[in-house]
Amino acid sequence: MKNFKLPSSVYNWLTLFGAMMAVGAILVFLFLLIISTFTGTSSSYLGLFMFIIIPPFLFIGLILIPIGMYYKNREIKRSGDKKLTAPVFDFNKSTHRNAAMVFITGSMIFLLLTALGSYEAFHFSESNVFCGEVCHSVMHPEFTAYQNSAHARVKCVECHVGEGVDWYVKSKLSGLRQIYGVATGDYDKPIPTPISNLRPARETCEKCHWPEKFYSRTNRLEKHFLADEENTPWDIYLTLKVGGEHNSEGLSEGIHWHVDPDNIVQYLATDKQRQDIPFVRFINKKTGDTTIYIDSDSDFEMDEIANYEIREMECIDCHNRPSHQYLPPDRFINNELAKGTISTEIPEIKAKLLEICENEFVSIDSLKKYSMNEIIAYYEEEYPEVIEENRAGIIASVDAFIKVYSDNIFPEMKVTWDKYPSNIGHMNFKGCFRCHNGLHESEDGKVLERDCNQCHIINAQGSPDNFVRSEFNIPLDFQHPVDIGEAWMDMNCSECHTGLLP
């Protein structure tokens, strides 16, 4: 090794700095690779450093090596060495052979690491960890909701990107803007929806949920608890008309009639979140008939149609929160009462927890302190015998409430249920009533009726002491748990049930 020499052009600060940077990047990469391989350690930040941050340093270092040699050669030429006119490789000289050996060996290592890095970088950038945890504070709400959703085992990119090079490139170009926003702190709180450049649902959702395989009808139990002293249960058993009465009828009727391949349903929304829909157009592909419905209660005029986007209805127009749903307090407290993690034996517990949710908190830590102190103080004053007998149960119920609250409300990102309307159903948001409000009427008098039985049948409902069952396939009229007369027939549920009202 004493005779191992390189051309004189190698010996300059820029080339040496580039070589040190490249070697350092390789050593750090190998060190992290050993850690992840032999210790089983894996995290979003480890992958970020290994496959996203380190490779550019290696590349820049390798580029600096020939740049430094180029300027060193120019310097030698200017110093008066007339023999040096252009680079000449003479393999009879040991310095040239050594340089060639270093170059070839280095190139092979670089190409190997580039292939490995590119492959791993691609898979890492497609992973759920990259999507949900790298930009932790920004995507924490979405990633938490996703992990609690029915699609928790479906990779983020399968819905947000899908198959094909074109959408992969589009997503990465869009990601560059998002990375810049996170780095500079230039992003909205909460993140606005709907996503304008999302791939059509027919190319993503229907890979699994293709229309021809929808179920006919399905039964569903809706469990509610009243905000009274007894936390009275109120159950509703429904038959949801997902499709036809029998599988052979396909999508000819029922909820998924809207995406029947024989139908085209188009609509126009006047707001970004697509909650106000004054215009609906139905096209029967078999007959070619077209029917236009206009909301008589809106100010929309047909000559304004060019100012708005007309969308063809697809899965996400109703299932707009398939993996990132933030439940309102009434819903998530009901769920915990049904599971028993919040005890129904504690008087007024639902009412008191809903009262806590009316407050705004700067962080989950502030919620924890406030809710525990508030509940304990209330029961010590109003129900001393209850807290004496069941203090542990009350504390456990508050802990369960804090956990489910933190799964649905994120103060740091200003994420609350009301910022993200869900279009499934009609309880806490307009949902179905965006169109089926009884006000959308065609020129020939057809109306998009506000008829609950179009989508579901109530088979049984009520509290344990007053439970009513119907005869087979004969729907019951809805009974409101609290007597409000017939007001519920003329109002949208969401006008009262904002998420904080049981």
Q: How far apart are CA 37 and CA 455, in angstroms?
A: 53
**C-alpha span between 173 and 161 (Å, rounded):** 12
Q: What share of the chain is helix, strand, coil (3-state, %, to 5)?
A: 50, 10, 40
Q: Mutual orientation of helices 364-382 and 384-408 as an angle, nearest 10°?
A: 160
Q: Looking at the whole model, is its pTM more than 0.85?
A: no
Q: Which residue matches tokens 């992958």?
A: 47
Q: Which two tokens stand for residue 148?
A: 């609690």
Helix axes 329-339, 384-408, angle to 10 degrees: 120
Q: Are 201 and 209 in contact (CB under 8 A)?
A: no
Q: Residue 119: exposed, middle, or buried by beta-carbon count in 10 A (0-12, 13-18, 19+)?
A: exposed
Q: What are phi and psi of 442, to 5 degrees?
A: -90, 170
Cis upstream peptide for 190 (omega within 30°) = yes
**C-alpha to C-alpha distance for 98 and 91, rounded to whole angstroms:** 9
Q: What is the DSSP letter of 311?
A: E
Domain extents in the chain: 8-125, 130-187, 212-322+421-495, 329-419
Quote the tokens at residue 115: 């292939």
Identify whether the C-beta of residue 493 lies closer than 8 Å to the C-beta of residue 426: yes
Report the helix count and the strand count for the chain, using DSSP H and E: 14, 9
- pLDDT tens digit at each of 502 positions of the chain: 455 566 677 778 888 888 888 888 877 777 777 766 666 555 555 655 666 677 788 778 878 888 887 777 777 777 765 554 555 666 677 766 776 777 777 677 766 766 666 666 666 667 777 787 776 678 889 999 999 999 998 888 888 887 776 776 777 667 767 777 777 888 888 988 887 777 888 888 888 887 667 678 889 999 999 999 999 999 999 999 988 777 777 777 788 888 888 889 999 999 999 999 999 999 999 999 999 999 999 999 898 899 999 999 988 999 999 999 999 999 999 999 999 999 999 999 999 999 999 999 999 999 999 999 999 999 999 999 999 999 999 999 999 999 999 999 999 999 999 999 999 989 999 999 999 999 999 999 999 998 888 889 999 999 999 999 998 878 999 999 988 888 888 888 888 999 987 6
